[in-house]
Amino acid sequence: MLPKHQRIRTTAQFSDTQRSGSRFGNRNVVVSANIRPVIGDDPRAGFIVSKAVGNAVTRNVVKRRLRAIVTELFDRDFGIEVADGSIDLVVRALPASASASFDELREAATHAVRGALRKYMRRAEQQ
């Protein structure tokens, strides 16, 4: 479970991450990644699971799975060195995520997070 200080909760935080960040997606999830210039802060994550994914029970299952996956990613190394800020992630579940197993969802989310961060770092290097 993500502690409160590691959650994106306000509309402004969600929109800032989605507008300023880089997006990378696959069949199950779309991840927007942004790096805040605040050094030393913990990474944060927010989740969007719409009614298109399924009923309330299905949405909550998908959201709990995504939270567990992102918490695991935060505990491990992202595979990308981020020295000049803190990472913000917004994970949007797509309808196919409802029928995906936990392992499939973990693989898809991990791939999308790493892809979004790589894309963001490439864009930052070009500027």
CATH number at residue 99: 3.30.230.10
Whether the pLDDT of residue 74 is over 70: the answer is yes
Residue 112 located in a structural domain? yes
- d(CA 101, CA 65) in angstroms, rounded, equals 10
> What pTM does this model have?
0.90
Average pLDDT, the chain: 90
- Which pLDDT score, from 0 to 100, does residue 121 have? 87
Tell whether 126 is covered by a domain. Answer: no
Share of the chain above pLDDT 90, in %: 66
Identity (one letter) of the amino acid at 95?
P
Rounded Cα distance between 94 and 24, Å, is 13
The mean pLDDT of 76-104, rounded to a whole number, is 85
Q: How many domains does the chain have?
A: 1
Q: Tell me the residue range of the domain where 10 lies.
A: 4-121
Tell whether 85 is covered by a domain: yes
In this structure, is residue 26 part of a structural domain?
Answer: yes
In a domain, 106, yes or no: yes
pLDDT at 21 over 80: yes
Q: Does residue 127 form part of some domain? A: no
Q: What is the pLDDT of residue 38?
A: 78
Q: Reply yes or no on whether the pLDDT at 30 is more than 80.
A: yes
